[in-house]
Amino acid sequence: MTVRTRIAPSPTGDPHVGTAYIALFNLCFARQHGGQFILRIEDTDRVRSTAESEQMILDSLRWLGLEWDEGPDVGGPHGPYRQSERGDIYAEYARQLIDAGHAFKCYRTSEELDDLREARKAAGMHLALKPADLALPSDEQERREREGWPHVVRMKVPTTGTCLVEDMLRDTIEVDWAQVDAQILLKSDGMPTYHLANVVDDHLMGITHVLRGEEWINSAPKHQLLYEYFGWQMPVLCHMPLLRNPDKSKLSKRKNPTSINYYRRMGFLPQAVTNYLGRMGWSMPDEREKFSLDEMMTHFDIQRVSLGGPVFDLEKLTWLNGLYIREDLDDKAFLKALLEWAFNEEYVGQILPQVRTRVETLSQVAPLAGHFFSGLPEIEEGDFDSVKLGREELVKLLQFLVWRFEIAPAWHKEVLLGEVKSLAAHFDLKMKDFLAPVFIAITGSAASTSVMDAMAILGSDMTRARLRHAIEVLGGVSKKQAKRFEKEYRELA
């Protein structure tokens, strides 16, 4: 048997370090067994999936040196590797399940579903809806079918008993069937849900081992049942521990930069980031902290993964990155890294229009444009003294901007300007006054190049990181404040 593993990201945002972490372990597992590693794009959520996000995922994984054997961009014998291009396949398999009596068309309206759930709740029962709960009287079912009501396809699930799922790293996982609902497989728009598409594709693509984040454990019983219904052998499952913040909470962009773009922009070396991700819950047999991807592949052993939540610690990563710069880069390689990072035509070219009108000699460029080549600016509380806003108002302004930017549909100057304008109106401030503290947070000084352009050029991650940094410098947001802010922000939205 050839080992085949995969990473199956959904292209719905920034390329997450968690995706790279799971990709790395899948790649190492495959290579260690002389197998193949596949990249599949799970873009069945047509509203949230974007082509830009997909491109960023491919770019950032490649930047980290995590190469795949088959995928949407390199092709392969099991394509297409984008689920949005495989719609007919899922519809066919859903039909097979219906014909075999393992799935059914469900014509329930969303109001009826709410009522059903309410009724269960009132009766103190588990909220999982079962096929029997969802069934309509047969004449009503026929009527809705005849009249072409919108419907979904759901899988049948047992009502009682326990489902046992094996996992490479864990004891047998036990789930009561009572908790598992009649999962939707095909949505009313004909698109499959994650569950159906994932199982069908893993099978058709010959995946033998599924290494994925532990947040998917709850899906495992449904997947196992689908494999049984189809009469297919299920891949071996392995649920990896989730990455955590230093305070042990789940790694989230609210506390830590989670986008690979941020680490790239911050000037981390890809080999250091990959090395550090390899340290997440795993260690080399000799426990050394610095190792290359090749070394990791050679010595990989999944049983050395420990389940205690691995902490993604920026300080540790920064330390490791320093080792790489000092020990691995000779002057030539150092120069190459710098050129690739920011001192290249493409990036510097974006900055020239920002400085051209503001300098009289070339030697004035570097001091003026320094913020385009730095990480978090060295600012302190006193730098905001010139801003005529109370402390709470000031912090709130920055926090609201971070939240708005988190959900900005695209990162263009016009989009950012729209966000800034609407918030300035909310705070009843002139644009100039609204932008004054933003200016300091982003450029680190009170006079520099245009802040709107700077944010557009620096990108979403670095911009948000600098705004968050300014909030910290100003004393942060207390729990009480956070509550107030969130309430006001919700009303604003």
Q: Show contacts with ligand GLU in window 211-230 (CB under 6 A).
A: 212, 216
**Is the Cβ of residue 19 or residue 399 nearer to ligand GLU in the bound state?**
19
- Single out the residue of 404, 429, 420, 416 nearest to residue 455, CA to CA: 416
390: CB partners within 8 A, 6+ apart = none
Give the CA count within 13 Å in the CB-facing half-sphere of 453: 12
Question: In the annotation, is 430 catalytic?
Answer: no
Quote the least distance from Cβ 3 to ligand GLU, whole Å.
16
Q: In angstroms, rounded to a whole number, what is the distance separating the alpha carbons of residues 417 and 411?
A: 10
Quote the least distance from Cβ 176 to ligand GLU, whole Å.
22
Q: Show contacts with ligand GLU in window 57-86 (CB under 6 A).
A: none
Q: In angstroms, rounded to a whole number, what is the distance separating the alpha carbons of residues 262 and 68?
A: 23
320: CB partners within 8 A, 6+ apart = 272, 275, 276, 289, 290
Which burial class, exposed, middle or buried, applies to 44 when counting CB atoms under 10 A from its CB (0-12, 13-18, 19+)? Answer: buried
- Single out the residue of 405, 72, 68, 61 nearest to residue 260, CA to CA: 61
Instruction: Figure out which of the listed residues 198, 259, 443, 449 binds ligand GLU, where binding follows CB under 6 A.
Output: 198
The answer to whether 238 contacts ligand GLU (rule: CB under 6 A) is no
**Is the Cβ of residue 10 or residue 183 nearer to ligand GLU in the bound state?**
10
Q: In angstroms, rounded to a whole number, what is the distance separating the alpha carbons of residues 265 and 491?
A: 34
| From 7-15, 160-168, 380-388, 403-411, span contacting ligand GLU (CB under 6 A) | 7-15
Q: In angstroms, rounded to a whole number, what is the distance separating the alpha carbons of residues 264 and 259?
A: 9
**Is the Cβ of residue 144 or residue 209 nearer to ligand GLU in the bound state?**
209
The answer to whether 177 contacts ligand GLU (rule: CB under 6 A) is no
| From 3-11, 85-93, 283-291, 350-358, span contacting ligand GLU (CB under 6 A) | 3-11
432 is known to lie in a ligand binding site = no
Catalytic one among 130, 222, 253, 396?
253
54-73 burial by CB neighbour count: b if 16+ within 10 A, else e? bebbbebbebbebebebbbe
Question: How many residues form the binding site for ligand GLU (CB under 6 A)?
Answer: 8
| From 5-13, 109-117, 286-294, 364-372, span contacting ligand GLU (CB under 6 A) | 5-13
| H or E stretch covering 462 | helix 460-473
Q: Which residue has the tokens 């922000």?
A: 489
Instruction: Figure out which of the listed residues 4, 5, 10, 25 binds ligand GLU, where binding follows CB under 6 A.
Output: 10
246-285 mask for ligand GLU (x: CB under 6 A)?
A: ----------------------------------------
**Is the Cβ of residue 42 or residue 383 nearer to ligand GLU in the bound state?**
42
Q: In angstroms, rounded to a whole number, what is the distance separating the alpha carbons of residues 308 and 322?
A: 27
Residues labelled as active-site residues = 253
Give residues in contact with ligand GLU (CB under 6 A): 8-10, 42, 194, 198, 212, 216
Which residues make up each annotated binding site?
253
